[in-house]
Amino acid sequence: MHRHVSHVTRRTAVAATALALGAVALGGPADAASYGTPTITLSSAALSGAVGAVGDPVVTVTVGQSGADASALTVAASASSRSSVAGPGDVTVTGTGAVRQLAVTARGRGYANLTVKVTGLGGKTATKTLYYAASAAVQNPADARHLTGSADASAAVDLGGGHVVVADDESNVLRLYDRSRSGAPVRTWDFTAQLGVAKEVDIEGAARVGDTIYWTGSLGNNKDGAYRPDRDTVFTTRVTGSGSTAQLTFGRAYQGLRGDLVAWDRANGDRYGFAAGTATGQVPKQIDGFNVEGLEFAPGSTGTAYLGFRAPLAPAVPGGKALLVPVTNLDQVLATGAEPVFGAPVELDLGGLSVRDLRRNAAGQYLILAGSWAADDNTDPYALYAWDGVPGHAPVKRADLPTSDAGGWEAVVDVPDLTQPGARVQLLTDNGSADLYGDGTEAKDLTRPEWKKSRAAWFTLG
């Protein structure tokens, strides 16, 4: 029997076929099974930012899907556990291929778990959680960067090419950072094994001569007043290359400088009380304690180095002077194990403050970062003093430093030409004791290294 197919039926069949083909072309239900589940990986599971920050760190997002071009995939934040810190709309993803860049703009201080979602063809999706933490706004954010991976920056040496190597007083790891960027170190070196120590050296000072960097521990007791021999360490590293390609290799170490200083002080009438300052039970960060935080070479010398003391003051009373003790043969002490020889001590009027760092440039100009001897001093005064390095010559205050932001000023990266108007200097903070995210946790105790951070800030000298 001949069947009659109406024009309406033909039109319906054609339309259905067209819809099916369209679904295939668009990755719809008709061929969804031909696409695999998308994949998504984050370069870091955690990220830290700051309210109002400039140049916060970013995370690299890598996506893919079998059967699909990566450019067809979309990536966005789909949820937040705390939108008052950062919501989905505060997440920006750039790039169009398999590799994207994700940035977060902080709304407020605290933590937020951000769900990052990739949507592929066939309507298939996958997610990852980004653990985000935002610290409070700081003064002059355009001049501030946050160096992550450690909160306890304690000494710094410029390695050229816009990069700096930073020590940490809670470990023996040295970290190389880009001075212009916030984020993780470019490279790290852990010299614990070469030093032969079990705990941290408590690195507090550094100075460079040629391709050699000298590093010193604090030489003092720990915060409980107990002697820790690992802190009585001075060592060297050798630099090859510069900037982002710089490499450090271990040189030599010397242990015993603390005892040498005590013996020298006793032989000179116990002038500075080093024996009492190093006694069992003596807390190092007291006005009459014993704690070294600065190291720099004397003018025109590659052998004589100044040890800058955070404690004691000289005399050890409010308003006392800051103390430098020259080691006249530090190069030989490290090269051959020679017995240290000490020169005439230098006392500097820093307005009752002590040495937190000491740095010299090639022209022999010095900057002294001055702060309190006290342990809990993040809100106590800090100042920068210029000095010519000559004993008997008075330092000149060049700037008072702000103290309202988290952390204590701890290190001078390098010294600009101090004769130039508008000279700018970059300083680092030790944020180890700071509650960065408002939960009562000290930064040094945070569980994720990406959340630990020190601040680098530029200042114009008056």
Q: Tell me the C-alpha distance between 134 and 48, whole Å.
A: 6
Mean pLDDT, consecutive 10-residue segments, the chain of 462 residues?
Answer: 41 38 44 87 98 96 97 98 98 97 98 98 97 97 97 98 97 97 97 96 98 98 96 98 98 98 98 98 97 98 98 98 98 98 98 98 97 83 97 97 94 97 96 96 97 97 88
Tell me the CA distances in angstroms from 175 to 158, 260, 322, 450, one per residue in order.
Answer: 12, 30, 29, 14
- Can you give the pLDDT at residue 1? 41
* The last residue of a domain, from among 116, 135, 154: 135
Residue 186 backbone dihedrals phi, psi, to 5 degrees: -70, -35
CB 333 within 8 A of CB 379: no
The answer to whether residues 292 and 421 belong to one domain is yes
The answer to whether residues 393 and 299 belong to one domain is yes
CB atoms within 10 A of CB 279: 14
* The last residue of a domain, from among 115, 135, 155: 135
Nearest to 200 by CA among 172, 174, 177: 172
Element (H, E) at 195: helix 192-195
The answer to whether residues 243 and 152 belong to one domain is yes
Residue 200 backbone dihedrals phi, psi, to 5 degrees: -70, 145
DSSP string, 360-378: E-TTS-EEEEEE-SSSS-T
Q: Tell me the C-alpha distance between 332 and 244, whole Å.
A: 30
Q: Tell me the C-alpha distance between 115 and 174, whole Å.
A: 33
The answer to whether residues 371 and 440 belong to one domain is yes
- Can you give the pLDDT at residue 31? 61
Residue 312: asked if its preceding bond is cis (omega within 30°), the reply is yes
Domain with 29 in it: 1-33
Structure tokens, 450? 């990406």
Number of domains in the chain: 3
CB atoms within 10 A of CB 334: 18
- Can you give the pLDDT at residue 378? 74
- Can you give the pLDDT at residue 32? 63
The answer to whether residues 321 and 398 belong to one domain is yes
> What is the rounded end-to-end Cα distance, in angstroms, of the chain?
104
- Can you give the pLDDT at residue 377? 62
